[in-house]
Amino acid sequence: MGTFCSVVKFENLQELKRLCHWGPIIALGVIAICSTMAMIDSVLWYWPLHTTGGSVNFIMLINWTVMILYNYFNAMFVGPGFVPLGWKPENSQDSVYLQYCKVCQAYKAPRSHHCRKCNRCVMKMDHHCPWINNCCGYQNHASFTLFLLLAPLGCIHAAFIFVMTMYTQLYNRLSFGWNTVKFDMSAARRDPLPIIPFGLTAFAATLFALGLALGTTKAVGMLFFIQMKIILRNKTSIESWIEEKAKDRIQYYQLDEVFVFPYDMGSRWKSFKQVFTWSGVPEGDGLDWPIREGCHQYSLTIEQLKQKADKRVRSVRYKVIEDYSGTCCPLNRGIKTFFTSPCTEEPRIRLQKGEFILATRGLRYWLYGDKILDDSVLEGVSRIRGWFPRNCVEKCPCDAETDQAPEGEKKNR
């Protein structure tokens, strides 16, 4: 099948260093624990050699593990695809629409952004994911999203096996009294000895694996729906933030223009096919992109240049209205904020009511920016940078630099 034609290729042995990071270590550890315990428990609950159903169950477990690991390593080692060092547009006149990266000594191609972790300009960059210790972008977006789909499905299957194993193994080991219900884990001695003994240690390990499986299903499942939402709109997380700032700029200066996202083809199926293909290789070359009718090839990069020139839009100013402790997953900020906490190595920042924040990017329920510690708000000599929940801040009606600008001047900008 064409889906399996793309194989993981190591450019050099240096790529193996990606495994030496807390993200892959934790991710692979969870996969190993859930898969191993599911296979052990399936032998106890549904011995694969006795029935056809047992054989199918065991083969499905192995299949989940193989597909999850295949897409995980594909996303990690194939990588997002980087803009070639020293890249320039074919038409030299187009360079006026592009930003120049001093680190890569190249122009940033449309939809590309520089990643500080990878130290390269990434094609169609969505985000840097610590769980694969690599960026999610043009080349590995499909593999990364398939991993986000397969991991919860495999965990649901494993969780079912864990529950059924504990039920079947403990069913005959319950001792009922008038006032108590007592588990007798030594009752296994009265039964035919199983191939793998199910004692107190096995029960605790199965319970622990069940917790991991359910937690992974919730967390990774929500990430999958977020990714599919932006894929069907042919956007990335970064482009969604650029679009939000574009609308803010137009509204603030009361301009007679409408920002139209140039890569939205108007069809979810067309957007889907740009990422997922039978060959496993995404459409295009990662540098040139099809655009909707009436848009310019560099519409998005032109908007980025406008936002970069406009200090007010480049960093949207917010005022803290509620304290935030700086915890990774705050329970007191709401369920949606708790479950959509950014999966990144970037820190959270502690906020106190009355402080000011300059937000540079964000998600639906989270923002990223600088907490201003100096009185010079727009100078920002001293700042702390990180993520914080949206619902503990409110957007300032105007910035210190622009709130006294006359109405006519705003329109001219």
Work out the number of other CB atoms within 10 angstroms of the CB of residue 312: 21
What is the Cα Rg of the chain in Å? 26
Active site residue 329: no
What DSSP character marks residue 367?
E
Residue 326's alpha-carbon distances to 6, 261, 347, 350, in angstroms, are 42, 34, 8, 4
Could you give the CA distance from residue 191 to residue 202 in angstroms, rounded to a whole number? 17
Work out the number of other CB atoms within 10 angstroms of the CB of residue 202: 21
**Burial group, residue 132, by CB count within 10 angstroms (0-12, 13-18, 19+):** buried
Closest CA to 276 of 6, 31, 27: 6
8 Å CB contact between 68 and 31: yes
* Residue the block writes with tokens 């639906």: 364
Closest CA to 359 of 400, 313, 300: 313
8 Å CB contact between 373 and 396: no
Work out the number of other CB atoms within 10 angstroms of the CB of residue 18: 16
Q: Which residue(s) pair with 356 in the sheet? A: 319
Q: Catalytic: which of 129, 136, 155, 392?
A: 129
Work out the number of other CB atoms within 10 angstroms of the CB of residue 175: 10
8 Å CB contact between 301 and 97: yes
* Residue the block writes with tokens 């069913």: 171
Closest CA to 250 of 312, 175, 318: 312
8 Å CB contact between 320 and 357: yes
Helix axes 299-309, 237-253, angle to 10 degrees: 60
| Angle CA 298–303–306, to nearest 5 | 125
Enzyme catalytic residues = 129
